[in-house]
C-alpha cells in the first residue's frame, strides 16, 4: 500500500522526531553525564561544592550566599555579598534579576491602613533608585564610610520631585512634591523654583507633575562601590569587587579581634584578576573568603 | 588595565578567532551540505525515518517537509510538557499549564526560545534534555537547511530541485552540531558548568541559613543553546547563572559558539555559488553592522546615562560582577545580533540607550550575522532588495549572481521583509489596545519598551526579553506564540519559494551593466538598505520608547 505523499511526509516527520529524541535527547546528554564523572571533572559537574573546616557541605564555590542572621541583618564578622533579587536572597530555586529600569525613580508609598490584593497590609513598592539609596546608606553605616550618592536623600530614598508648572510642561512652578518622602517627613529640599516643597501623601496622584530627580551634593565617586548597591543578573553572584571588600576589612577585623593586615592578606589571596588579563572584572569570592576567615581567624567568643 | 581597554581586547579576540575559523570551518560545512556520500550511521537514520536519501525535492516538497517536521515536533513537545509529571526525572513538578506549554513548544520549535516559564521551578530534567534540548539541535538544523536550499536556488539553473530536506537535516545535525556540542560541553564542564541528574543538594550555609544547590544536565543543553543560536536557558536567569556560565572565559567561549556558525555560513554561500568573493561581501556586511552595534552598546553602557545608573556610578544593576559592564554589553549585542536571546545580564536594567541597542539589533531582522541559517537567508533577501533598488536607479533589470530579479522574486523578498515588522508592531498595538500592557513592571516609555521588546523578540525568533514583564498569562502566551510561529514559518515559505523560482531560471551572462555584488560599493549599499529599511519601519516606535526615555 502506498501512502499519499502528504501522509508519508508526516510519518517521516514523526519517525525523525523519535529518532532525534533518542539520539540527541537521551544518548547525547547521558554520555556527557558519564564523561562528567571522570576524575577531575566530577567535582565541577556536581556543582563545585565546598565544605567548611569541619567537613560539612556549606554550598557551592560558584553560588553566592547570604551572610545575614535570621532577621536579615548582616552578620558583621563576615564579608557581605551583593544584594540579590533571587527569592528572599540567593535562592537557587528562584533565580532572578530585579528587572527595574534606569528611570525607575518613583516609589509607590504604602497607604496606611490599606490592604493589597492578597489582603495583607499595603507595603507599597520601592523604585530601583530608592533601593540603591537605601543599600548605600546601610552599607555606609555598617562599614563607617560615607553612604551618600547622587540623586539620594540623606535618609536613603530617591531624591525625586514632581514639579507642576502653570502651563503643563512650561511656565512658572506652581507646586513641587518630594514623591518618595511620605508625610510628615521633611522634604530633602526646602523649596524648588520659588515654591516650598511638600512631602508626599500616600495614595495621591501626582502624575500631572514632571518627574525631576535632584542630583544633590554627593561626591561623584561614592565611597560605597557600585556592586554593593545593585542586585546581580542571576541573584546568585558569588563575587564582590575588590573595592567593596576593601571597605569591609576594618569591620570584619574588629569583629574577629584580628589585625586588619591579616584580613587584608586573606582578601588578596581570594582576589582573582581578569581572566587572561582581559576577560571580565577583578573580583573576590565571598564564600571562599569567609570560609578562609573562619579557618584562619575564628571569631573570639 | 581599564575596563574599556579590556573590553576592546575581548572584542578583538572574538573577531580574530572568527576570522581564523571562517575558511576552514566554512569549507567543512560546505562539504557537509554538498557531498553525496552517506555515512553508515546516516544510512541507518534514513532507514529509520523511512526516506529515500537520493530523491531530491522541489521547493514545494522541501517546504512541506520542513513544515511537517516542525508540526510533529511541536505536537510532540507540547505533549511532552503536558505529561511531564507522568515521566521520569520530573523532580515532582506539575504538568506545564496549557498556555505555557503551547508557548514553550512553539518557542523551541521556531528556534526562538522565548521563555514564559522559570526553568528551575517548572521543567524536570527529562523534559529539558529530551524535549527542549532536542529542539535546540533540530530547529537550528532546519534554519541551516533552509539557507542551504536558498543557496542551491542561486547555484543551480533550469532545475526544479533544491535538495532533500531530510538529508540536509540529518547531516547538519550529525556532522556539524553534534560533534561541536560534545566538544563544547566538555570545555564548559571544565569551566564549572554542571552536568548531572541530581534533583538538588540541600546545604546549610555558613551563616546558618538553608540553600538548595540545583543540579541538572546543564552543560549538554548550554552548549547547543549557544551553538544553535537558540538561547533558552536551563535556569530562569540563563547565562547569568553561575552554573550556566561560571567564569570569565566560559563567557568568551559562549559568545564564540553563538557567532561561529552564523559568521561562517557566508563561506558556504561563496563556495556553493562558485565565487568565494561573494561570501566575503556578505560576511563584510554582517561584520560592519555587528562591530558598529557591539561598539555602540558598550559606549552607551559604559557612559552610564539614566538617573539610576548615574546614582550607582556604573550600570551594574542586573549584571554579574565577574563579567562587569563591558563583557555584559558585548554579550547583549552578540545575543541579539544573532537570534540567540541568551542573556548574561538583564537588558531591562540597562541604560536607556544601551537597552535600545538589543532592540535595534533585533529590528535589523537579525542578519548581522543572525541566527544559524536564518541570518544568512535574511541577508540574502536584503541583497535581492538591494540589487532591485540599484536596478531602479539605473533603469536596468536587476540581477544577482546571474539570476534575474523579476516581479516574482521581488514579491517573495518583499513579503519576507514585511512579515516580522508587521507582527511586531501589530502585536505591540494589540497589547495596548486590549490593556495587556498592564503586566509590564515599569511604567511610561520604559513600559512601552518592554512590550515592544517582547513582540520584536518573538516575531524575530530571538527570545531575549526586557524581562520585567509578566508574560505567562493566556493572552501573552497565545499572542507571542502566534508571532513566533508566523515569524518563523511564513518567511521560510517565502525563502523556499524564492529559491524555487531562482533555480528554475537560466543564468544571464554578466555584462558591463551588471552591478558587481562583491565590491565595497555593493557592501556599502547593502548596509545602507538594511539600516534605512529598519529606520523607516521602527523609528516611530523607538521614539516613543527608549529614545523618549534616553534623550
Q: Could you please report the per-residue DSSP string of chain A?
A: -PPPHHHHHHHHHHHHHHHHIIIIIIIHHHHHHHHHTSTTTHHHHTT-EEE-TTS-EEEETTS----B-TTS-B-TTS-------STTTT-TTS-------TT----BPPPTT-B-TTSSBP--B--HHHHHHHHHHHHHHHHTS----TTB-TTSSB-EEEEEEEEBTEEEEEEEEEEEEETTSPPSSSEETTEEEEEEPTT---TTSEEEE--TT--SS-SS-GGGSS--SSS---EE-HHHHHHHHHHHHHHHT--HHHHHHHHHHTEE--BTTTBS--EEEHHHHHHHHHHHSPPP-
Of B71, B203, B352, the CB nearest to A57: B203
* Strand residue runs (E) in B464-549: none
Position A301 confidence tier, pLDDT thresholds 50, 70, 90:
very low
What distance in Å separates the CA atoms of residue A109 and residue A123, rounded to the nearest whole number? 7
- Please report the pLDDT score of residue B1 as a whole number: 80
Burial class (CB in 10 A: 0-12, 13-18, 19+), B531: middle
On whether residue A197 sits in a domain, the answer given is yes
On whether residue A219 sits in a domain, the answer given is no
**Contact criterion met (CB < 8 Å) for B189 and A283:** no
Ranges of each domain in chain B:
374-550
| Residues A285 and A255 occupy one common structural domain | yes
- Please report the pLDDT score of residue A300 as a whole number: 63
Looking at residue B58, what DSSP letter applies? -
Q: Does A154 touch chain B (CB under 8 A)?
A: no
| Residues A241 and A292 occupy one common structural domain | yes
Polymer length in residues for chain B: 551
Q: ∠ at Cα B264 (B261, B267), nearest 5°?
A: 145
Among candidate residues A213, A248, A277, the one where a domain is terminated: A213
Q: How many CB atoms lie within 10 A of CB B276?
A: 17
Could you list the residue range(s) of the whole structural domain that residue A166 is in? Answer: 160-213
| pLDDT tens string A243-294 | 999 999 999 999 999 999 999 999 999 999 999 999 999 999 999 999 999 9
Closest Cα of chain A to B389: distance in Å? 39
What distance in Å separates the CA atoms of residue A65 and residue B525, rounded to the nearest whole number? 53
Strand A283-285 and strand A239-240: the pairing is antiparallel
| pLDDT tens string A64-114 | 999 999 999 999 999 999 999 999 999 999 999 999 999 999 999 999 888
**Contact criterion met (CB < 8 Å) for B243 and A62:** yes
Q: Left if phi > 0, otherwise alpha if psi is -120 to 50, otherwise beta: which for B58? A: beta
What distance in Å separates the CA atoms of residue A158 and residue A286, rounded to the nearest whole number? 29
Task: Report, in this order, helix, strand and coil percent for chain B, each rounded to 5.
Answer: 70, 5, 30
Most B CBs within 10 Å, among A4, A22, A27, A29, to test the B interface = A29
| Residues A291 and A236 occupy one common structural domain | yes
Contacts of B398 (CB under 8 A, 6+ apart): B387, B388, B390, B391, B392, B404, B405, B515
Tally of domains in chain A: 2
List beta partners, residue A170: A167
What distance in Å separates the CA atoms of residue A32 and residue B193, rounded to the nearest whole number? 12
Chain B residues closer than 8 Å to A56 by CB: 204
Strand A57-60 and strand A170-182: the pairing is unpaired
Closest residue, chain B, to A125 (C-alpha): B441
**Contact criterion met (CB < 8 Å) for B195 and A32:** yes
What distance in Å separates the CA atoms of residue B454 and residue A63, rounded to the nearest whole number? 29
Contacts of A1 (CB under 8 A, 6+ apart): none
Burial class (CB in 10 A: 0-12, 13-18, 19+), A300: exposed
**Contact criterion met (CB < 8 Å) for B324 and A60:** no
Of B1, B314, B318, the CB nearest to A97: B318
Among candidate residues A168, A186, A213, the one where a domain is terminated: A213
Of B82, B68, B126, nearest in space to A17 by CA: B68
Closest Cα of chain B to A174: distance in Å? 23
**Contact criterion met (CB < 8 Å) for A95 and B49:** no
Closest residue, chain A, to B252 (C-alpha): A279
Q: Left if phi > 0, otherwise alpha if psi is -120 to 50, otherwise beta: which for A13? A: alpha
Of B65, B319, B436, B369, nearest in space to A241 by CA: B319
Q: Does A108 touch chain B (CB under 8 A)?
A: no
A residues 174-193 closer than 8 Å to B (CB): none
Chain A residues closer than 8 Å to B169 by CB: 16
Averaged pLDDT, A187-215: 94
Chain B residues closer than 8 Å to A97 by CB: 237, 240, 317-318, 345-346, 348-349, 467
Q: How many CB atoms lie within 10 A of CB A38?
A: 11
**Contact criterion met (CB < 8 Å) for B131 and A25:** yes
Most A CBs within 10 Å, among B318, B356, B471, to test the A interface = B318
Q: ∠ at Cα A247 (A241, A252), nearest 5°?
A: 105
Chain A residues closer than 8 Å to B345 by CB: 97, 233
Of B120, B138, B468, the CB nearest to A95: B120
On whether residue A240 sits in a domain, the answer given is yes
Cell of A174: 506652581
What distance in Å separates the CA atoms of residue B223 and residue B239, rounded to the nearest whole number? 11
- Residue A103: asked if its preceding bond is cis (omega within 30°), the reply is no
By three-state DSSP, how is residue B240 classified? helix
What distance in Å separates the CA atoms of residue A290 and residue A74, rounded to the nearest whole number? 13
Cell of A170: 512650561
What distance in Å separates the CA atoms of residue B242 and residue A34, rounded to the nearest whole number? 22
Residues of chain B with pLDDT under 50: none
Chain B residues closer than 8 Å to A133 by CB: 311
Chain A residues closer than 8 Å to B213 by CB: 47, 49, 59-60, 63, 92
What distance in Å separates the CA atoms of residue A2 and residue B83, rounded to the nearest whole number? 34
Closest residue, chain A, to B6 (C-alpha): A278
What distance in Å separates the CA atoms of residue A258 and residue B293, rounded to the nearest whole number? 50
| Residues A244 and A290 occupy one common structural domain | yes
Q: Is the pTM of this model over 0.95?
A: yes
CB B209 within 8 A of CB A66: yes
What distance in Å separates the CA atoms of residue B308 and residue A244, rounded to the nearest whole number? 19
Q: ∠ at Cα A156 (A153, A158), nearest 5°?
A: 60
Q: How many CB atoms lie within 10 A of CB B299?
A: 14
In this predicted model, which residue has the larger pLDDT, B550 or A182? A182
CB B186 within 8 A of CB B114: no
- Please report the pLDDT score of residue B438 as a whole number: 84
Polymer length in residues for chain A: 301
What distance in Å separates the CA atoms of residue A252 and residue A33, rounded to the nearest whole number? 41
Q: Does A73 touch chain B (CB under 8 A)?
A: no
**Contact criterion met (CB < 8 Å) for B318 and A290:** no
Tell me the CA distances in angstroms from B370 to A178, B249, B460, one per residue in order. Answer: 47, 23, 10
Closest Cα of chain B to A186: distance in Å? 22
Amino acid at each position: 500500500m502506498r501512502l499519499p505523499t502528504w501522509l508519508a511526509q508526516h510519518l517521516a516527520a514523526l519517525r525523525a522526531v523519535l529518532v532525534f529524541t533518542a539520539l540527541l535527547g537521551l544518548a547525547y546528554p547521558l554520555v556527557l553525564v558519564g564523561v562528567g564523572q571522570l576524575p577531575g571533572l566530577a567535582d565541577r559537574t556536581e556543582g563545585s561544592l565546598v565544605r567548611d573546616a569541619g567537613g560539612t557541605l556549606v554550598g557551592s564555590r560558584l553560588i553566592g550566599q547570604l551572610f545575614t542572621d535570621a532577621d536579615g541583618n548582616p552578620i558583621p564578622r563576615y564579608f557581605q555579598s551583593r544584594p540579590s533579587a533571587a527569592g528572599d536572597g540567593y535562592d537557587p530555586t528562584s533565580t532572578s534579576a530585579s528587572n527595574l529600569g534606569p528611570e525607575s525613580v518613583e516609589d509607590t508609598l504604602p497607604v496606611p491602613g490599606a490592604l493589597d490584593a492578597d489582603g495583607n497590609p499595603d507595603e507599597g513598592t520601592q523604585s530601583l533608585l530608592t533601593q540603591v539609596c537605601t543599600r548605600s546608606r546601610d552599607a555606609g553605616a555598617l562599614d563607617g564610610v560615607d553612604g551618600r550618592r547622587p540623586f539620594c536623600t540623606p535618609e536613603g530614598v530617591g531624591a525625586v520631585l514632581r514639579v507642576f508648572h502653570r502651563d503643563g510642561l512650561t511656565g512658572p512652578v506652581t507646586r513641587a512634591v518630594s514623591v518618595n518622602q511620605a508625610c510628615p517627613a521633611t522634604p530633602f529640599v526646602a523649596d524648588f523654583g520659588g515654591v516650598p516643597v511638600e512631602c508626599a501623601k500616600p495614595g495621591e496622584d501626582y502624575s500631572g507633575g514632571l518627574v525631576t530627580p535632584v542630583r544633590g551634593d554627593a561626591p561623584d565617586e561614592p565611597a560605597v562601590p557600585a556592586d554593593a548597591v545593585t542586585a546581580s543578573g542571576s541573584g546568585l553572584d558569588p563575587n564582590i569587587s575588590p573595592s567593596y571588600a576593601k571597605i569591609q576589612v576594618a569591620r570584619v577585623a574588629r569583629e574577629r579581634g584580628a589585625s586588619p593586615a591579616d584580613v587584608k592578606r586573606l582578601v588578596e589571596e581570594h582576589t582573582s584578576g581578569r581572566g587572561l588579563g582581559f576577560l571580565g572584572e577583578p573580583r573576590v569570592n565571598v564564600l571562599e573568603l569567609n570560609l578562609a576567615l573562619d579557618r584562619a581567624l575564628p571569631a573570639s567568643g | 588595565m581599564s575596563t574599556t581597554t579590556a573590553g576592546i581586547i575581548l572584542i578583538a579576540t572574538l573577531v580574530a578567532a572568527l576570522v581564523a575559523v571562517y575558511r576552514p570551518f566554512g569549507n567543512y560545512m560546505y562539504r557537509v551540505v554538498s557531498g553525496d556520500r552517506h555515512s553508515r550511521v546516516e544510512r541507518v537514520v534514513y532507514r529509520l525515518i523511512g526516506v529515500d536519501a537520493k530523491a531530491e525535492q522541489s521547493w514545494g516538497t522541501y517546504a512541506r517537509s520542513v513544515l511537517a517536521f516542525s508540526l510533529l515536533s511541536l505536537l510532540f513537545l507540547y505533549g511532552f510538557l503536558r505529561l511531564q509529571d507522568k515521566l521520569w526525572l520530573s523532580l515532582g513538578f506539575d504538568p506545564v499549564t496549557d498556555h505555557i506549554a503551547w508557548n514553550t513548544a512553539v518557542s523551541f520549535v521556531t528556534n526562538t526560545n522565548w521563555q514564559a516559564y522559570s526553568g528551575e521551578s517548572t521543567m524536570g530534567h527529562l523534559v529539558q534534555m529530551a524535549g527542549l534540548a532536542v529542539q535546540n539541535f533540530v530547529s537550528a538544523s532546519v534554519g541551516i537547511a533552509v539557507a542551504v536550499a536558498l543557496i542551491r536556488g542561486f547555484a543551480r539553473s533550469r532545475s526544479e530541485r533544491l535538495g532533500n530536506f531530510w538529508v540536509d537535516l540529518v547531516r547538519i545535525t550529525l556532522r556539524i552540531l553534534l560533534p561541536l556540542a560534545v566538544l563544547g560541553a566538555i570545555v564548559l564542564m571544565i569551566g564549572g558548568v554542571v552536568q548531572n541528574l541530581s534533583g538538588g543538594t540541600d546545604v546549610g550555609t555558613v551563616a546558618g541559613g538553608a540553600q538548595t544547590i540545583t543540579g541538572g544536565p546543564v552543560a549538554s543543553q548550554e552548549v547547543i543553546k549557544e551553538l544553535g543560536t537558540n538561547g533558552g536557558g536551563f535556569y530562569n536567569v540563563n547565562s547569568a547563572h553561575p552554573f550556566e556560565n561560571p567564569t570569565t572565559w566560559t563567557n568568551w567561549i559562549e559568545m564564540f559558539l553563538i557567532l561561529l556558525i552564523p559568521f561562517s555560513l557566508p563561506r558556504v554561500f561563496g563556495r556553493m555559488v562558485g565565487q568565494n568573493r561573494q561570501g566575503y561581501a556578505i560576511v563584510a556586511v554582517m561584520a560592519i553592522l555587528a562591530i558598529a552595534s557591539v561598539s555602540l552598546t558598550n559606549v552607551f553602557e559604559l557612559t552610564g546615562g539614566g538617573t539610576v545608573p548615574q546614582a550607582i556610578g556604573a550600570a551594574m544593576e542586573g549584571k554579574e560582577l565577574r563579567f562587569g559592564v563591558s563583557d555584559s554589553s558585548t554579550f547583549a549585542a552578540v545575543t541579539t545580533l544573532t537570534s540567540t536571546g541568551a542573556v548574561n545580564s538583564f537588558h531591562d536594567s540597562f541604560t536607556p540607550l544601551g537597552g535600545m541597542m538589543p532592540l535595534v539589533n533585533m529590528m535589523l531582522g537579525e542578519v548581522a550575522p543572525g541566527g544559524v541559517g536564518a541570518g544568512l537567508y535574511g541577508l540574502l533577501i536584503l541583497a535581492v532588495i538591494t540589487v532591485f533598488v540599484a536596478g531602479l536607479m539605473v533603469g536596468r533589470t536587476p540581477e544577482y549572481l546571474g539570476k534575474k530579479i523579476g516581479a516574482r522574486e521581488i514579491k517573495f523578498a518583499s513579503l519576507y521583509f514585511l512579515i516580522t515588522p508587521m507582527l511586531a508592531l501589530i502585536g505591540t498595538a494589540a497589547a495596548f489596545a486590549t490593556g495587556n500592557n498592564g503586566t509590564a513592571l515599569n511604567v511610561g516609555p520604559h513600559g512601552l519598551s518592554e512590550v515592544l521588546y517582547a513582540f520584536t523578540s518573538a516575531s524575530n525568533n530571538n527570545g531575549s526579553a526586557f524581562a520585567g514583564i509578566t508574560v505567562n498569562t493566556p493572552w501573552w502566551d497565545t499572542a507571542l506564540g502566534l508571532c513566533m510561529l508566523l515569524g518563523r514559518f511564513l518567511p521560510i515559505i517565502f525563502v523556499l519559494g524564492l529559491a524555487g523560482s531562482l533555480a528554475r531560471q537560466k543564468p544571464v551572462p554578466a555584462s558591463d551593466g551588471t552591478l558587481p555584488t562583491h565590491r565595497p560599493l555593493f557592501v556599502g549599499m547593502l548596509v545602507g538598505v538594511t539600516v534605512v529599511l529598519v529606520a523607516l519601519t521602527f523609528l516611530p516606535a523607538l521614539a516613543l520608547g527608549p529614545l523618549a526615555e534616553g534623550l
